[in-house]
Amino acid sequence: MRIQQYCKHCNKELQGRTDKKYCNLHCKSAFQYQQAQEQPERFYNRVDNQLRLNRKLLKEFNKGGKVTVRAEVLKELGFNSNFFTHYWKNTKGDVYLFVYEYGFIKRTENNSEKYVLIQWQDYMEK
């Protein structure tokens, strides 16, 4: 007696074993991919994706080692300053937030928000 008579993905009639659910590996893979797409994005994936995007943007804009960029430019591209991996406090007491090896600090100059972007240096490990 067959448990399921049709493929879960393409609805073709199944041949072979009685407990078979899919007609081939392609249908099995496609069905599982479709199920995964319907699930909400996991928290870990959201955090990881945002960290990757933040790092990519910081790397892209910081070509000179230390650069100042308008905050609205980064935010329009999806940058979120709430996602970072660690921080570093300099001797003046300024706290730089880092996404892996690329860091930033928010500044307000002439009523406009800006980010000062830096790159991790060996002397920061102290």
Higher pLDDT, 41 or 57: 57
pLDDT tens across 83-100, in order? 999 999 999 999 999 999
Q: What is the 3-state secondary structure (H, E, C) of the chain?
A: CCCCCECCCCCCECCCCCCCCCCCHHHHHHHHHHHHHHCCCCHHHHHHHHHHHHHHHHHHHCCCCEEEEEHHHHHHCCCCCCCCCEEEECCCCCEEEEECCEEEEEEEECCEEEEEEEECCHHHHC
> How many structural domains does the chain have?
2
Q: What is the pLDDT of residue 122?
A: 87
Q: What is the pTM of this model?
A: 0.70
pLDDT tens across 100-119, in order? 999 999 999 889 999 999 99
Q: State whether 6 and 50 are in the same domain.
A: no
Q: State whether 29 and 84 are in the same domain.
A: no
Q: State whether 33 and 53 are in the same domain.
A: no
Q: State whether 11 and 58 are in the same domain.
A: no
